[in-house]
Amino acid sequence: MTTLSQTNEIEKLQTLLKFTFGLVPIAAGADKFLNLLTNWEHYLSPGLVDMLPFGPDVFMMIIGVVEIVAGIIVLTKTKLGAYIVSAWLLLIALSLLFTWHEVDVAVRDIVMAISAFVLAKLTVLKEGQQI
């Protein structure tokens, strides 16, 4: 049985993760258009770039739109958005691992995917549903 104090702490943690996984994808998505944080095309495997029907810059802009939308969904429909962000991060990590490209980033993305999954589960708890 959880106390009121524990419930408040769970809600604070859920809110912190909600804003983290809402705002960070929006910022990263917007940066796909600006390349201020990094040159995002660097994270694409050469094999993928060769398969694209357009330039890697266009591909990264599409990715940016997806990330912005995912962040907005986290902020408005947290449980659904958290599952989407978790799956998205896991797919990015797997693509990096399968090409043995940016393995350190892949590991970081797996950790973030697990954290986004935890956000979804905390949101379920907050809504009073069974996990």
pLDDT tens string 87-123 = 999 998 998 888 877 888 899 999 999 999 999 999 9
Nearest CA to 126 out of 41, 2, 14 is that of 14
Determine whether 14 is exposed, middle or buried from the number of CB atoms within 10 Å of its CB (0-12, 13-18, 19+): buried
The tokens for 53 are 């029907």
What residue ranges do the domains of the chain occupy? 4-126
> Which pLDDT belongs to residue 61?
96
pLDDT tens string 44-78 = 888 888 999 999 999 999 999 999 999 999 999 99
Nearest CA to 32 out of 77, 65, 76 is that of 65
Whole-prediction pTM = 0.87
Nearest CA to 105 out of 49, 50, 37, 52 is that of 37
